[in-house]
Structure 1
């Protein structure tokens, strides 16, 4: 028997639709604005879950090293460096391998696989257990490496898909770069601050007598963002730009791509390497702020300062997001680098004075970090995805640039202690300020490389480059007929046939 409400129930669509035929059929769609913009955020905001998983290991390692297993982390043990560095190693592997997966199999498949990896190994990291203290630490190191693969894979998968989705015809041309930044780097920066805040809240709840619960739940909550993200990603379609420009059914002409794009790829990779390499001094100055502000530092104050210092990134990324479409990513990055260098020089030159006024020190330091996000933080991913190569190899090109950046971060963790020692050691004027003189000087070098070798990005830059790339391939004897997805080719043919029929019908009248 048909009930009176049957028709009404059948008309309700509980499934949000994103991608090409986006609608706003339910509360989630209407409230969150899913659709074309929702697709951008569903693609790029995985960096929130990745950022949380990457940042949460900081306070978790502090608890393990200082309070739970201090003997296992004491010298000459390599546990401390392995817990942090194995995540970087996994990220490099993920960035390189998922670049190929993203280009040859699809953005959506790569994103779903990365989300699953982050979910599974965030849970396993929280449940790390082995025989004795060293067994537990070894399990955590192994899971961090595998988690890093998923985190790294998001760069050439999710970030690239977000960039391509910004060039949909329904997106305002004056908001394309802003939406990418808000969906990627802004999410990443919020995640860093939230990871420390979550650990601090858990410490308030459980107290110093239950630190095992604090570090495990901090890591375990990393499963929540990818769990929700998986639902929306299942509803996505491949970006329109990818459908038209992919070489998933054709041979990728790597040599032709290298000849055309190697200079821009090298420029972006070098600037990314430098940016990640000089981030090491940030930790040095954060410890100075903590030491000067709080003489009797505890775990509570350490986590509180970590939350505050990571919060310094957020104003920079938000302000930068709203000026990038007006300045263009190239000049926005140059502006941020030069301002960061300026405040780095101020902080180093007035070091002795600022040490006596910790509030002033914190303000200058906050401006230094904020301008880093206005510049390279916001724009490196934007330039790597939109200014360096074509859709056919965008995932692999982006992955290479991002991986070189992470290699810079990995090398920085080993080179800067030696630099500090050679400049006089920690606690001396040369040891505490020398790395920032170097870092600020390299920021100027990065600005010069960006100015001379990286082009600025206009609206719809990827679409224009794909057209130019096809012409370049045809000029070099490459058959472009197999480019694009089959269903996309069929759609184009159908549209062309429709246009022809309409013309013929009009001619008969």
Structure 2
């Protein structure tokens, strides 16, 4: 009976059973995303507080708020840093290896989180400028986590459950958003009770206690804790065998890296390592990122991943970063003048925590459960459709929802559910699967950076567009805007465009990374060449 040929390293990774190390990798990589989400979105919990502390007019009884340009800077500067970090670390991950770069991102995040909470200055402008400086570098570290975490998880996983594991890493983002709300609730509640101040007070001294300055600093600095706890374990992770096999072209190291991942030693002994060298040599550096060959093979793929991520993040980040403004517009959060500053943080945090718990977090984990059954493309289409319908319902009956905010919150929560059971997860998964190993981290970084460009558009654009058209506010320096209702219509149109661009996305479900990227062609050529050489040796005279 003819013996079947031993599998190569790449085939063995694809066929490997799901084991404990896969779950460990999800936690290690996922804790980075937990921290990313906490750091990016916790700023929305404290911007109202920053306005009351640093921009309250001493001659006015009304609590202050951040001017539009300052609010845009505070909310958007971390996104600018994230965009730069995604491009830089994505490129570096392909040049130096995933593991060598992976720890740098956490170190930057830990330092910048602490520094953000210690922001200083002689005047309000100085404090805000320092805060923006450190939040830019915080975003820079966060940006590196996107391409590196996605690429590492995709290259560790088998093809049967690859989508679920990559999505599970990203789903930690939802827990980070939820944790941000919970931390803000605990901190604000603790200070509120310690001061024993009435929640509602018209008295100026009672409405802005000096301890309020500690609240926002503690909330921002807390993000350093999960990042610091994860650093040691991230440094212990081995390089992915796919990188050492296809990019570094180190056969011995590929086997050693694989041994750290596969618990089944017998399975590892059967792996034919010689095939790795042949595949690596055959695949070679056929084409670069800016070559015609890349444009021919993957140009449409890159257009699909960048455009869908860009459109999604315009709507997603504008919703997340400005929830407090939306909740105030529908009167779910009382006017600032009726609350002390710390109690207002509590109200904002409670509202965002409820939305995260009921809409955001469930959406992520439904994706994890179904992505390898339904496929990436179907989930992304369903998500964009759900977001479009929900936004249209909110916009068309906006005046009705102003009097019935519970109904508004139901549909608003549905937009978050369909974002996360949809494009917010799949736009992260697909770029980690469809590009060649030597360009995988770079292309994921480009795709993610396009998303952050959309987030910047959403953060700056929504702030100005949604402002009231009240002439009295315009006279005080506010942009006239188009109003909240029209802003919701604009986001519905953006989501509808996402449906169209999703049609360009290839379905990667159930296929190996090499099959998706075209690298299996090189493997087949290498195998054919090896068989021909073996046949020639057998036919040669003794």
Q: Unaligned regions of 5+ residues in structure 1, if any? A: 1-19, 21-32, 481-492, 505-509
**Counterpart-to-counterpart distance in 1, 2:104 and 2:351:** 35
Give 1:234 shift: 1.7
Match of 1:121 in 2: 112
**Counterpart-to-counterpart distance in 1, 2:151 and 2:373:** 22
**Counterpart-to-counterpart distance in 2, 1:80 and 1:63:** 12
- The answer to whether 1:369 aligns with 2:416 is yes
Match of 1:342 in 2: 389
**Counterpart-to-counterpart distance in 1, 2:142 and 2:349:** 24
1:47-95 C-alpha deviation (Å, 9 max, x unpaired):
1111111122222333222234446987868433222222111111100
- The answer to whether 1:35 aligns with 2:36 is no
Which of the numbers 297, 314, 322 marks the counterpart of 1:260? 297
Superposed CA RMSD: 3.3
Match of 1:287 in 2: 325
8 Å contact kept, 1:273–1:409:
yes
Helix, strand or coil for the counterpart of 1:293? Answer: coil
- The answer to whether 1:188 aligns with 2:173 is yes
TM-score, structure 1 length as denominator? 0.78
Change in Cα spacing, 1:421 to 1:215, as seen in structure 2 (3 Å) is closer
Change in Cα spacing, 1:34 to 1:230, as seen in structure 2 (3 Å) is farther
- The answer to whether 1:104 aligns with 2:95 is yes
8 Å contact kept, 2:50–2:65:
no
Match of 1:487 in 2: none
- The answer to whether 1:400 aligns with 2:446 is yes
**Counterpart-to-counterpart distance in 2, 1:357 and 1:164:** 48
8 Å contact kept, 1:60–1:215:
yes
Give 1:106 shift: 1.1
- The answer to whether 1:215 aligns with 2:252 is no
Change in Cα spacing, 1:44 to 1:302, as seen in structure 2 (3 Å) is closer
Match of 1:457 in 2: 508
Match of 1:386 in 2: 433
8 Å contact kept, 1:43–1:111:
no
Match of 2:255 in 1: none
Helix, strand or coil for the counterpart of 1:143? Answer: helix
**Counterpart-to-counterpart distance in 2, 1:287 and 1:360:** 17
**Counterpart-to-counterpart distance in 1, 2:166 and 2:482:** 40
Match of 1:306 in 2: 352
Which stretch has the larger CA shift, 284-293 or 236-245?
Answer: 284-293
**Counterpart-to-counterpart distance in 2, 1:58 and 1:75:** 12
1:312-333 C-alpha deviation (Å, 9 max, x unpaired):
2111112222111111011111
Helix, strand or coil for the counterpart of 1:45? Answer: helix
8 Å contact kept, 2:465–2:482:
no
Helix, strand or coil for the counterpart of 2:91? Answer: helix
1:79-125 C-alpha deviation (Å, 9 max, x unpaired):
33222222111111100100111111111122111011111111111
Change in Cα spacing, 1:40 to 1:165, as seen in structure 2 (3 Å) is farther
TM-score, structure 2 length as denominator? 0.74
Which stretch has the larger CA shift, 97-106 or 350-359?
Answer: 350-359
Give 1:286 shift: 5.3
Which stretch has the larger CA shift, 251-260 or 215-224?
Answer: 251-260
Change in Cα spacing, 1:142 to 1:66, as seen in structure 2 (3 Å) is same
Change in Cα spacing, 1:99 to 1:430, as seen in structure 2 (3 Å) is closer
8 Å contact kept, 1:286–1:309:
no
Change in Cα spacing, 1:71 to 1:48, as seen in structure 2 (3 Å) is farther
Which of the numbers 84, 90, 98 marks the counterpart of 2:81? 90
Give 1:282 shift: 5.8
- The answer to whether 1:197 aligns with 2:197 is no
8 Å contact kept, 2:51–2:66:
no
Q: Unaligned regions of 5+ residues in structure 2, if any? A: 1-12, 14-18, 59-63, 193-208, 251-283, 474-479
Helix, strand or coil for the counterpart of 1:323? Answer: helix
**Counterpart-to-counterpart distance in 1, 2:379 and 2:183:** 32
**Counterpart-to-counterpart distance in 1, 2:70 and 2:488:** 28
Change in Cα spacing, 1:294 to 1:158, as seen in structure 2 (3 Å) is closer
Which of the numbers 27, 31, 46 marks the counterpart of 1:45? 31
Corresponding pairs, count:
441
Change in Cα spacing, 1:191 to 1:323, as seen in structure 2 (3 Å) is same
1:184-239 C-alpha deviation (Å, 9 max, x unpaired):
1x111111121122122111112354122211111111111111111211221112
Which stretch has the larger CA shift, 42-51 or 131-140?
Answer: 131-140
Change in Cα spacing, 1:218 to 1:331, as seen in structure 2 (3 Å) is same
Helix, strand or coil for the counterpart of 2:510? Answer: coil
- The answer to whether 1:271 aligns with 2:308 is yes
**Counterpart-to-counterpart distance in 2, 1:247 and 1:440:** 45
Match of 2:9 in 1: none
Give 1:412 shift: 2.5
**Counterpart-to-counterpart distance in 1, 2:73 and 2:323:** 23
8 Å contact kept, 1:335–1:375:
yes
Match of 1:206 in 2: 191
Change in Cα spacing, 1:74 to 1:40, as seen in structure 2 (3 Å) is closer
8 Å contact kept, 1:416–1:435:
yes
